[in-house]
Amino acid sequence: MRIEEYTPRESESVEELREQAAGYLNALLLVYDEVFAFDSEWMTVKRLRRGRPFGEEKAYPMQEAIARISGNLLPEDRGLLLAVFERFSNHSAGRAGLEAPFRIEFRIFAGGVIKSCMGVFLTTGENTYLFCCSDVTGQRENERLRREYRLLSQEKQQVLEVFRMYSGELLVFRVENGIVKPFTINETICDFFGVRREEWFRFMKYGGPIDEFLANSCFSYEDYERLLREGEIEVNYIEVSNDAERRMRARCISAPGDRSTAYYIMLRDITEDRPEPALPAQGEAGTPAADAAARPEVFIRTFGYFDVFVDGKPIAFKNEKTKELFAILVDRRGGYVSSSEAIGYLWENEPANKITLSRYRKVALRLKNFLDEHGIADIVESVDGKRRVVTERVHCDLYDYLSRDPQYEHLFNGLYLLNYSWAETTLGELQSISGQTAGAAE
């Protein structure tokens, strides 16, 4: 509404026109939080209030009033708003290209928070205009939530499409900025990741750091980083119920939109999809005869600190628990070690439960992979969840000494597996044998 364009009827008095103008201004005050009337001829500003005649409002110098209005503006928004005020203040010539009503968004800092505001410039005459503004923070928040909801809906649709193409998934979870939030839960999933149900529900509701989520999982953080680089990988894992080795395929897709740090990750058990390995022909590599000739020589030292040598060179275990598990198997001298027994050594103060079983499974898989890397995976045998060292495929000072062969009597030096406290039982046995040997020699 442009007041100067209104043509009064002959029957309307000046008082009626004033009432209409007052009604118009009061209507604006119902819609907007603040309304200011600018007079660019007199360079003054009045702050309007409901129910008070326009003429009773105090006029402030324009520059002082604009300074008050823009006082709480964020620095990056102040210049733009002041430029618009300046153009509107330069009479009609300065308003070229500014259509009325002219809207502008800006932000202010008030009450300790940043608020979003909408300002509208309304021309009311050649030399006058109104500036109406309102706090629209709540509206912008609602719009943001609606946009995120639409984006999330798009993401869900994309994930559903992937599900259709990637059937048989074991788990789907979302990762954004290093925070993981799983979508589903079942016993298999909890076992695979070594997480209690109550902890899993916490992850589903609130999310948590990815490294914490993967701490006890067969899917390591290194696997996760490789998955982000390659998009799809396969990893081995050991099933808790029967200790059988299985294989998992993981796939990663980026979430739609511009949030490049958000991913969806799907895991699928593909053990049954693997083809059976072909049996080698007689005499070819892979036959017992060929393997015996090509097998590296393994020497295990137990007197003193525990170390393993392959073809005369020491091998460095990547994980201390993996090394300790192998030492436990060596100490058993070819006898089978069950999962619960191994857990009792590896985690002396914790009972055998789903969590410790999951940890043990991870350690056992790491041991298998480590030995396989060095070409000596056949020195450990696994049957129905129990493991043992195949003693005939290794050389060990402990085994040589216990053979009572005179040439090995000098091997024991009074020290045995100094790395581990549980080795004291065998140490006592060795000391007893050593004393008997010394007495016989005398």
DSSP state of 287: B
Question: Which residue, 388, 386, 390, is CA-closest to 340?
Answer: 386
Residue 15 burial (CB < 10 Å; 0-12/13-18/19+)?
exposed
- Furthest-apart CA pair in the chain: how many Å? 142
Asked if the model's pLDDT at residue 6 lies above 50, the reply is: no
CB atoms within 10 A of CB 308: 24
CB atoms within 10 A of CB 235: 20
pLDDT value for 125: 67
Helix (H) or strand (E) holding 390: none
Asked if the model's pLDDT at residue 256 lies above 70, the reply is: no
Q: How confident is the model at residue 286 (pLDDT cuts 50, 70, 90)?
A: low
Mean pLDDT of 20-29: 70
Domain with CATH 3.30.450.20 in the chain: 154-272
Q: How confident is the model at residue 414 (pLDDT cuts 50, 70, 90)?
A: very high
Q: How confident is the model at residue 316 (pLDDT cuts 50, 70, 90)?
A: very high
In contact, 396 and 330? CB cutoff 8 Å: yes
Give the chain's mean pLDDT.
Answer: 76
Q: Which fold has domain 295-441?
A: Arc Repressor Mutant, subunit A (1.10.10)
In contact, 170 and 189? CB cutoff 8 Å: yes
**Cis peptide upstream of residue 101 (ω within 30 degrees of 0):** yes
What is the CATH number that goes with domain 154-272? Answer: 3.30.450.20
Compute the C-alpha angle 340/327/407, nearest 5°. Answer: 135
Highest mean pLDDT (candidates 80-89, 143-152, 430-439): 80-89
Architecture, CATH, for domain 3-135? 2-Layer Sandwich (3.30)
Domain with CATH 1.10.10.10 in the chain: 295-441
